[in-house]
Structures are given as C-alpha cells and as structure tokens.
Structure 1
Amino acid sequence: MRGVVAIALGGPEVLQVTDLPDPEAGLGQVVVRIRAVCVHPADIAATTGQIPGGPVAPPFSPGWDIAGEVASAGPGASDLRVGDRVVGMIPWYSTRGTPGGYAEFVAADTDWLVRLPDGLDFVSAATVPLNAQTAHQGLSLLPPAVDGRSILVTGAGGGVGGFATQLAARSGYHVLAQAGHGDEQWVRDLGAHEVVSRTVDLSTVGPVPALFDAVPLGEAAAVAVEDGGVVVATRPTPAIAAARGVRQELQLIRHDRDLLADLVGQVAAGQLRTRVAETMPLTDAADAHRRVLAGGLRGKLVLTVD
C-alpha cells in the first residue's frame, strides 16, 4: 500500500510518499480502508518535533482523524464488520506514528472507531474526532454556564474553536467569539452572541470569567479574564496572570469512544456544524502541510484516498 512518512524532522519537505507493508488486523482490531484523513496543526507539530513528550524519531506516519470502511477484522473485533463505514481517532499521543493515518490502510483498535451514520460523508466526518472531543473536554474544565456566564473563545473560526463556540452556546454561556475577517458570519451562525475581531486588543474585552484559548494566544488573551477566572488552552503556554488568581488549565485530548459517537451523531443530525476548506489527494500531503502553514484556510484541509 501507499503511505506518507516523515523521513526526518523538519518542514513539509520531509514528507515522502512510499510503499508500506499492508497492515493486518490483530486482536481487537480492524483494518480500515482510508477514504479521508484530516490534516491538523498537530501533524505539523509532529513533523517538526514540537509535541508533548518530545519528538518522535523518524520514520513515522502523521495523522489522527480517519474515516473509511472496514476492510478486514481480526479476532475479538465483534462489534465492527467488514464493509462498515467508520470514523475514528488514532490516539497519536500513544501510537506516535505507529500507526498514523496518512496511509491507504490502517490497522486500528476497534475502541478508536465508531460507525459512521448514514448521511455523513467521509470527508466531513474526518474533521470531527480530535477537534470536537478537544472542545468538549476543554469546556468541562471551565465553570458551569450559570446565569448566562460569559466565555471568550479565541480562534472561533477554527476547528476546535468552532466546536467550542457551538457547545458553549448550547450549554448556556454568553459566547464572545474571536474571529478573523470574513469569518464573522460563520461564528455567528455557530451560536456566538458577540463577535470580536482578531485585530482587537483583548484587554478592552470583558472581563470574562472563562476563556477557551483555542489558538492559543496566552497572555494576550488572558488579559480579558477577570481576577479569579479560568483559562483553558489547547497547547502549553507560559504561566499567565497568576498574580490575579487566574486558574490555568491545559486541555490535552483523551480519546473517549462514547463521547466520539455522540459528537459524530450530532454532526450527522445537523446539531453541530463543521466545515471543509479543501480536499487534496493523500499523495499531496507535503503540499497540504504547506497550505496549512500558509494560513488563510476557512475550514479543515482533508486528504482523500480514491
């Protein structure tokens, strides 16, 4: 089979299309014929060696979120059958590229996968697992949304920030959503009550009791948090606002199959929205990383396999 591996640590140029052994399903596993795999900033962080736990020694395959069909099933994989449409998240924080999703086939633990509901296409589904679970779990670290409590979400036009905006609004928060030019209507449609321009000095916003820093911006966003408030960031940031009693939390993804099934179901039912900026063939993975690094995408970039 064909796959994409990082042959060294570095920029997009280290990604190489190569022939890999066909995977076999082990105990409690299925082999998934990949139809779509989402390109995340986490993939770029892996290839540059800037990930929690330290860099992974090449060669390795990037890729967290996959969607496709079950091609074969190993012993103990009783809840998934050949031909099932599935979507899931490879817990790259533990597999560290063995496997990764940038391949035509992946041997995956059944716990990583859920059935893909009818009506939800592979490409859209592949944008859900990492981003939606991160948003849901990060919001659980914040104070409950009582009495219309305000929350500021940075990067609300992005994958994690978009899901955080929707989930926060539905749970009862008064959502202030930071968005770039051209994304204002999108985040309003996600449920944001107020839209804050990306060019605004956030010290003039709020103060708010809660911040979901999906970019993250660190201290530049924490200035909007009231004394004794809470900040949740999606990547490690320097200590912020400790003198004001601001609590700082780091949200690192924990795969939860039941949660994933619920979130995917909500997307399939139209209760949660996601968006795709562009699709590219798996073999163009290096160019896809260049597109993400260049910025300006509205939605996720997804690699497809015919």
Structure 2
Amino acid sequence: MRVVAATATGGPEVLRVVEWPDPVAGPGQVLVRVGGAGVNPADLGARAGFIPGGPIPPPIVLGWDFAGEVVAVGDEVTDLRPGDRIAGMIPWYLTRGAGGAYAELVAADRDWVVPIPDTLDLAAAATIGLNALTARQALELMTLEPGTTVLVTGASGGVGGFAAELAVRAGHRVVAVASHDDEEWVRGLGVAEVLPRSADLAGVGPFPAVLDAVPLGPPATVAVADGGTLVTTRPTPPLDPARGVRQHVIMIQLRQPMLTELVAEVAAGRLRTRVAKTLPLTEAEQAHRLAEAGGTRGKIVLVP
C-alpha cells in the first residue's frame, strides 16, 4: 500500500509517498480502507520532531484522525463486518507512530473506531476524533458551574470550534476569539460574543474560565480571573500562585463511548464541523504547507 512517511525530521519537504507492507487485522482489530485522514497541528509537530515522550527515528507515518470502510475484521471482533463505515482515531500518545492514518489501509484496534451513518461524509467524519474529544475533555477539566462565562481562543479551529459549541449546549455563556473574516461562522456556533484575534484580552476580561485552544500563551493567561481555571492545549509557564488559578494541560484520551456520542451529534447536525479542502494523499506536502500558512476555513483532509 501507499503511505505518506516523514523520512526525516523537518519541514513539509520531508514527506514522501512510499510503499509500505499492507497491514493485517490482528485479534481485536479491524482493517480499514481509509477514505479520509485529517491533517492536524499534532501531525505538523510530529513531522518537526515534537512528539510526546521524545523523538521517534524516521521514517514514521503521520496521522491521528481517519474515516473509511472496514475491509476485514480480526478474531474477537463480532460487531463490525466488511463494508461497514467507521470513523476513528489512532492514539499516537500510545502507539508513537507505529502506523498512522496517512495511508491507504489502517489496522486499528476495535475500540479506536465507531460506526458512522451513510449520511455522514467520510471527509467530515475524519475531522471529529482528535478535535472533538480534546474539546469535550478540556471542558470536563474545568468542572464549570451552570451559566459560567467561558473564553475560548481559536474558535475558528477544530478544537476551539467544538469547545465553543459544546460549552453553549451545556448552558454556558461563551466569548469566542475568531480569526479575521471568520466571525460569522463562529457566531453561528451560538456564542454570546465574538472577538477578533487582534483583541487585547487583558482589556475584555477577566473570565472565570479560559480555554486557550490556539494556544496564545501569555495573552490568554492574563484573561483568566484570579481563582479561575485555565486549560491549554500545550504546556504554559505556571502563573503566580497568589492568583489561585487552576491550570491544566489537556492530554487527550480515546474514549470510545464519548467518540460515539460526538460522531452521532455531528451526523445529526447538532454539532458543526467543516472541511476547508480535500487533497489526494500524494499531496500531503502541500497539505502541510497550507496548514502551516493558516487562514484555511476548516480542516484539510487527505483522501487516499
């Protein structure tokens, strides 16, 4: 099969389409023909050598999120069969690159995938796992009281967009920071107020809860109220203990029941996601260049 491998540590130019042995479905696994693989900031970071637990010697196959069709099932898998459509996520924090989603075929553990209805486009389904799970679990870390005002940075992006929607649905008042010219889409998520990315957050807070999904770093930390909660998607320097701010870094966990629920919400139209562009697997280098440049409205998805 063809895969996209990072053949060295570096920029998008290190990505190459190479032949890789076809995987097989082992016990408790399903073999999936990939119909879409999401391009995420975590993929860009892994390509550049920023991987939890330390670097991995290349070549490595990138890609967390994927959707596709079951080709075969291994022993002990009784509830899926060839032809079923699924979406899932490869937990890179566990596998550390031992087979990524930038491939024509993926052998995935059964608890990494969930069925999806025929009405859900495969490219859209490939945007859900990493982003929606991160958003949901970030909000859980906040343990918010009903009606709390929450500041969400990066609400134009995958994690921030899902987080804004989920917080609104939970009954919270959301102030969202949006990219330039993307305010209308973010406003459509039901948020109470949309701020431009150029806004001085120190002048509009303080907020009892802040999710820095970009992350902006210090510009977001000044927006959290003393005694409040700050959740970030990357480690940030500790704040002055006298402020009493509870700081958390979200470390995603692949929870299958939660993923099942989130996929159902997207399929039913109750959660919104968007695909900015689909590109052939062979154009992964271009996909990474576009993702790094920013300004895309939605996720980039590779289609083998």
Give TM-score, length-normalised by structure 1.
0.97
Please show how residues 1-306 of structure 1 align to structure 2 within 5 Å.
1-146=1-146, 148-305=147-304
Segments of structure 1 that go 5 or more residues without pairing to the other structure are none
1:74 & 1:179 partners in 2: Cα distance? 44
Question: Cα deviation per residue 1:120-146 (whole Å; 9 max; x = unaligned)?
Answer: 010000000000000000000113242
Question: Cα deviation per residue 1:160-217 (whole Å; 9 max; x = unaligned)?
Answer: 0000000001111110000111111111100110011111110001211000110111
2:188 & 2:57 partners in 1: Cα distance? 42
Instruction: Give yes or no for contact 1:6–1:58 (8 Å, CA) kept in 2.
Output: yes
1:145 & 1:99 partners in 2: Cα distance? 41
| 1:241 CA displacement | 4.2
1:165 & 1:241 partners in 2: Cα distance? 27
2:201 & 2:136 partners in 1: Cα distance? 24
Runs of 4+ more than 2 Å apart: 240-243
Partner SS for 2:142: coil
Partner SS for 2:141: coil
| 1:270 CA displacement | 0.4
**What amino acid is the match of 2:161?**
G
| 1:89 CA displacement | 0.4
Partner SS for 1:140: helix
**What amino acid is the match of 1:130?**
L
1:205 & 1:241 partners in 2: Cα distance? 21
1:259 & 1:178 partners in 2: Cα distance? 26
Partner SS for 1:57: coil
1:143 & 1:223 partners in 2: Cα distance? 20
**What amino acid is the match of 1:134?**
T
Partner SS for 2:231: strand
Partner SS for 1:264: helix
Segments of structure 2 that go 5 or more residues without pairing to the other structure are none
**What amino acid is the match of 2:292?**
L
2:298 & 2:110 partners in 1: Cα distance? 28
167-176 or 234-243, which deviates more: 234-243
Instruction: Give yes or no for contact 1:143–1:210 (8 Å, CA) kept in 2.
Output: no
Identity of paired residues, percent?
58
Instruction: Give yes or no for contact 1:176–1:196 (8 Å, CA) kept in 2.
Output: yes
2:10 & 2:58 partners in 1: Cα distance? 10
| 1:118 CA displacement | 2.5
Give TM-score, length-normalised by structure 2.
0.98
